[in-house]
Amino acid sequence: MQRSSSILAVMVVSFVVLLAGGAGAAAAAVAQPVPLFVFGDGTLDVGNNNNLPGDEDVGDPPRANHPYYGIDFPGGKATGRFSNGYTMADFIAKYMGYEMSPPAYLSLSGPVNMDGFTGVNYASADAGIRNSTNAGLTIPLSKQISYFATTRSQMESKLGRLAMSDLLSRSLFLLAVGTMDLLPDCNYFLTFPPSPPDNKTEVQRLVEFYNASVTSLYGMGARRFAVVNVGLVGCGPTVDTRRGGGSGGGGGCDARMNGLAAEFNAALGALLAGLRSEKRRLRYSLADFYGFSNATFANPSAAGFVNIDSSCCPGPCMPFPYFNQPPCDNRAQYWFWDGGYTTEQAAMVAAAAFYNGTAKFTTPVNFKQLIRRKK
């Protein structure tokens, strides 16, 4: 208690000095990593879905709380991460200077503790931008953002409005969502050409919801957005299986689904560029997961991968069909861990490219530059 109030005092003092234009205080503030707030799907989930109740109408949420999830996590523990180890959220957090991702929102037992605060992770495996995507089984993006509003009011009551606003304006808001909205299995009504009532395409509607989400976060004080676009959705082992690839992986990709992902990504890029010019002090880094996956798939061995089309853990790690088969031994050489989410190794190489890579896979700056830049 004493420690937390003295840290609070330091923060308040440095904020006051910052207001007065003190460069020394600014340098001191940079030494601690800024908080990280995480939104999206299983690419980033670190256990929220474990805490979701089952829904008797639609069944149980997707949960990675059983072997062989976490087989390479410290202690071999299944934490709810859809990975054999760490996720992309963990690696971004590690590169920022943390041990791993901030905790899952639904695992917190009380109001946030500002003593040693690292941020909060709201991501939920299989969640979408739309409320209707995997409805009842996940925390959709809009709900994740309303959870952030709760966190924010807890922060405000501990820090006061000014210190909270300053902290949020420096924090990193990491988003990776959209894949699930583009999978026809999750959206039977998905229509590709413009359609009534508004004559828009599905992609246009999704990007409008994305706009509303980013705008809502901005309205609550978020200024630095690290956005990961959708990958090659048509190359996932589940897609392959549906197309007759057997126990995960048939080699090919669904070109139409990848085309839809490319269309979404192009619209997302235009949206972020537009928001940057519309909103004062909004900054972003758009990470090209699609391009990064595509480049890796074009030359897997250059990046140390031997398998980029089937899942390392096709049995117990995939919802259907249940095979009682252990995961592959060479997990660091597989891109896909389960039916759609990647291995720890794939998450690590992608996160490294996005955090501090060359300009090839991030626009207009990488995550590290986004965090470092002055207002």
Ligand X SMILES: *[C@@H]1O[C@H](CO)[C@@H](O)[C@H](O)[C@H]1NC(C)=O
Which residues form the interface with ligand X (CB under 6 A)? Answer: 95, 130-131, 142, 198-199, 209, 211, 271, 274-275, 278, 291, 294, 298, 356
Task: Give me the numbers of helices (H) and strands (E) for the chain, helices first please.
Answer: 12, 8
Closer residue to ligand X in complex, CB, 10/359: 359
Residue 117 CB, shortest distance to ligand X, in Å, is: 22
Residue 164 CB, shortest distance to ligand X, in Å, is: 24
Closer residue to ligand X in complex, CB, 114/228: 228
Residue 198 CB, shortest distance to ligand X, in Å, is: 5
Contact of 274 with 297, CB cutoff 8 Å: no
Classify residue 371 by burial, with Cβ atoms within 10 Å: 0-12, 13-18, 19+. Answer: buried
Closer residue to ligand X in complex, CB, 33/103: 33
Contact of 155 with 164, CB cutoff 8 Å: yes
**3-class secondary structure, 62:** coil
175 forms beta bridges with 39, 227
Contact of 199 with 257, CB cutoff 8 Å: no
Residue 95 CB, shortest distance to ligand X, in Å, is: 6
Classify residue 3 by burial, with Cβ atoms within 10 Å: 0-12, 13-18, 19+. Answer: exposed
**3-class secondary structure, 285:** strand
Closer residue to ligand X in complex, CB, 130/283: 130
The residue nearest ligand X at its CB is 274
Residue 150 CB, shortest distance to ligand X, in Å, is: 14
Closer residue to ligand X in complex, CB, 29/139: 139
Per-residue tokens: 179: 């894949």
